[in-house]
Amino acid sequence: MADRTPLPAPRAQAFPTAGEMLRDLEAGRTTSRVLLDELLARVERDPHNAVVSVDVENARVAADAADAARAAGERVGALHGLPMTVKDCFETEGLRTSCGVPDLADHVPAADATAVARLRQAGAVIFGKTNTPTWASDWQTTNPVFGRTTNPHDPTRTPGGSSGGSAAAVAAGLTPLELGSDIGGSIRVPAHWSGVCGHKPSHGLVPQRGHLPGSPGDLADADLNTVGPLARCVADLARALSVLAGPAADRARAWRVELPPPRATDLAGFRVGTWLDEPAGQVDGEVAGVIRTALDALSDAGARIEERHPQVSYAEAVDVYTQLLMPLNTRVHGPEEDAGLEAVVAALQDDPDDRTARSLRAHLVLHRDWLRLNEARERIRVRWAQFFEDYDVLVCPVNLTAAIPHDDRPFFERTVEVDGRPRPYAEQIGWPGLITMALLPSTVIPLGRTPEGLPVGAQFVGPFLEDQTSLAFAAAAEAVLGVGAPPPSPPTGGSIAAVSR
């Protein structure tokens, strides 16, 4: 049993970063158990429904073990004793993992997802799971199992999705670090809408085994999907990536990951291109204005910024991405769902301008068609590589708007308002999909707020497998722009109690 001698309470700051917590732990100013119990108390009072399952008993055992090891002079890893949460699409040993799916509401895995295991091996104390839309397939976070998660900056709006609970938990001070996933902006959109930092790694850098979807027990990694962190500062993203990155165990017999160092570290050393004006992906003027103001500040601080982007057609790239993406949504279908979708698609009119019809047809792409699409993707990726011969980073929007109001209409009936005009909800796939399709790393940080006070971020996109470059530019930008401001009313104080959900 670890020594439970009371120590001074953790710092009064409502939103310490993971790095600050780790430094306090290392210096003996607090313990893992003290930090854990404070976070558990905050979760109990959370009005946003961000953390939906909590493992109090095992987390306290792990925190006490981390404290005992530190007292004995042992250091487990880069996250030694850090309490944190993970998105509810990652399997966690002994802790419910539902991915918002009613049939999985009581699914308790026997083993951790690979990424979760790496966090634990680095010393992290995983105490809970954060909410996600059903099958992690929406930019809003609500599901029949746990209900809706709200945005800590404005509860009438969504925090984003599908890592919406992740971003809301970080923004609300419920966790210093989160494990999310991203196939259509699922890390980047919540980071943008919730005012936190997020990193979508290069595809393949972090193994996906144990991620839902697919189904429990699936072994193969999915095309396009990535696993990455959310946090309150860029340094914590980099720290988490250093733990997560690396080949799966069966490939580690021969392969190692040695990421290239950043192309620069000081702001003036980066060659920066921008892609903000795009008729096919028009961004709301208030959002674009915040991005431009931030770029002006970075330029004044010495950044070399030009309005240049890859010789890539936005519309073509998004079309290729959409057709690559949609078949992945059918991975978890049963025979009846497949038959129903086939019947719907067979009844569609052949209208090339009907976006809904094109999206539904894309769910039934044949393998020979996928091969052609993959070749088209590779040709587009060559153009991205050519751009990165002259530039180190591309700055572009995360999506069309700031955080949107909750909308419970059927997916294809929803709209988003851009400069006062409704646009199809599905058009939000464009800016995230543009980057996902090319398999590139993208770091999002808060840049400022709209006149309504909603956070705005942007994507800092780096060359393939040069995640250190996008992270380094984000860190340099953060040093000029500051860390995103917390929501108006962070949870503080209160009694500590066990949570069982």
What pairs with residue 391 in β-bridges?
none
Q: Give me the helix-helix angle, 355-362 and 335-346, nearest 10°.
A: 140
Between CA 212 and CA 248, with CA 187 as vertex, the angle to 5 degrees is 50
Residue 272's identity, in one-letter code, is: V
Q: Is 53 a catalytic residue?
A: no
Residue 304's identity, in one-letter code, is: R
**Of the residues 53, 87, 181, 442, which is catalytic?**
87
List the one residue out of 79, 202, 155 whose CA is nearest residue 471.
Answer: 202
| Separation in Å, CA 107 to CA 48, 95, 97, 102, 145 | 24, 8, 6, 10, 12
Number of Cα atoms under 13 Å in the Cβ half of residue 177: 33
Between CA 137 and CA 143, with CA 139 as vertex, the angle to 5 degrees is 60
Alpha-carbon distance of 412 to 18, in angstroms, equals 39
HEC string of 379-399?
A: HHHHHHHHHHHHCCEEEECCC
CB 25 within 8 A of CB 81: yes
Q: Computed from CA positions of residues 468, 473, 474, 479, in that sequence, does the dihedral angle turn out positive or negative?
A: positive
* Structure tokens given for 500: 């069982």
Cα dihedral 242→246→249→252 (10° resolution): -120
Q: Is 87 a catalytic residue?
A: yes
Alpha-carbon distance of 452 to 287, in angstroms, equals 11
Number of H helices, E strands in the chain: 14, 15
List the one residue out of 405, 367, 462 whose CA is nearest residue 155.
Answer: 405
**Of the residues 162, 181, 442, 470, which is catalytic?**
162
Alpha-carbon distance of 213 to 187, in angstroms, equals 16
Q: Is 186 a catalytic residue?
A: yes
Q: Give me the helix-helix angle, 114-121 and 234-244, nearest 10°.
A: 110
Q: Computed from CA positions of residues 229, 149, 232, 272, in that sequence, does the dihedral angle turn out positive or negative?
A: positive
Q: What is the DSSP letter of 280?
A: G
* Structure tokens given for 367: 């393998």
- 236 exposure class (CB count in 10 Å sphere: 0-12, 13-18, 19+): buried
Number of Cα atoms under 13 Å in the Cβ half of residue 180: 38
**Of the residues 53, 163, 186, 194, which is catalytic?**
186
Alpha-carbon distance of 62 to 124, in angstroms, equals 9
* Structure tokens given for 233: 């500062």
Q: Which residues are part of the catalytic machinery?
A: 87, 162, 186
